Amino acid sequence: MRTISLGLILAVGLTSVAQAQAPAPVTTAPAAPPASPAAPPPATTTAPPAAGSTTTAAPPAVTAPGAAVPGAPATTPPATTPDATPPAPVAEAAPALPTTGDGAMLIQVLEKVCVPLVRGGNFDQLAGQLPGARKNRRDGTWSVPLGGSRDYTINLLAQGVNKDVCQAEVHYAIGGDTDIYKAVNVWAFLHKPELIATANYVQTGGDNVKRVQRSWEHLESASSTAVNFTTWKKPDDTPLNRGYDTGYLFYQERALS
C-alpha cells in the first residue's frame, strides 16, 4: 500500500509540473460581425386626394420667345462680315443760279452780253436783246430796267480801247447788294473753269467814295478770266443817291504776255 501511494503521489507531482511548464493557450479575437446592408430610403407616399377633390397636373413651363432654355448651351451669334466697300457719300447739290430778282438780271447781262462781247461780239446787237433794253444815243450806253422803280437800272457802258473788258453801272434798291453778291458768287462757282474768290476789300478814295470790292478769277499761265462787283457809297455807308444804291460790274478775259 505504501508503495502505491508513493507512486501515485509522484505521478500527480509530475503532472502538476508539466501543466505549470506548458505555454498558455493563444486567445484569438472573435471576427467582426459582417456589415449590415444600408437601409433603403423610405418610400415616398403621396396622400390620396380627399374625397370629392380634383387633382390637376401642373402645366409645363413656357419659355418666352428669345429667352434661353434652361440647361441649353449658350449660342454665339454668327460673325458678321463687313461690306467690302462702304456706301458712297451722298454728293451735295450744286447751288442754283437765281431765276428772279436783281441778281438774276445781272447774270443775264454777264452771259448774254459780257462774255460774248469780250470775245468779239457786237455791243449793240448783244445789249439790244435784253428785255426792256433801251439805247441812249447821246453816249452809246444801254439801259436795262431791274423793276420796282424807274431808278433801278443796269447801264451797260460802251467799250473803249480795252476790247477785253465789259462794264456796267448798276442802280438797285438800297441794301439790295447782298442778293447781287450771292448771284455773282454762284455764277463764278459754276463757271467753267471755276472763278476763285481773290479779293474782298474796302477802299475810300480821294473822291470821298467808299468802295467795297469783291472779285473772282481763274488764272492760267497765259490767260486770265475775272469778274468783280463793287458797291459805291459814302464813307458813312449811306447811298450816293437818295433813291438807290450804286454798284459797278466788271468782266474781263485777257491774254497774259
The tens digit of pLDDT for each residue in 124-183 reads 999 999 999 999 999 999 999 998 899 999 999 999 999 999 999 999 999 999 999 999
- In this prediction, residue 234 carries a pLDDT of 96
Q: Which residue has 467690302 as its cell numbers?
A: 84
Contacts of residues 230-233 at CB distance under 8 Å and 24 or more positions apart, as own/partner, are 231/177, 233/209
Q: Does the pLDDT at position 192 exceed 50? A: yes
- In this prediction, residue 21 carries a pLDDT of 43
Distance CA 197, CA 157 (A): 25
- Under the banding of pLDDT at 50, 70 and 90, the label for residue 115 is very high
- Give the mean pLDDT of 91-110: 92
pLDDT, tens digit, 9 for 90 and up, residues 35-90: 444 444 444 444 444 444 444 444 444 454 444 555 555 556 555 555 667 777 77
Distance CA 123, CA 156 (A): 9
Contact of 139 with 158, CB cutoff 8 Å: yes
Cell numbers of 149, please? Answer: 422803280
Backbone angles phi and psi of 227, in degrees to 5: -140, 145
Contacts of 220 (CB under 8 A, 6+ apart): 256
**Better-predicted residue by pLDDT, 214 or 29:** 214
Nearest CA-CA partner of 158 in 192, 122, 130: 122
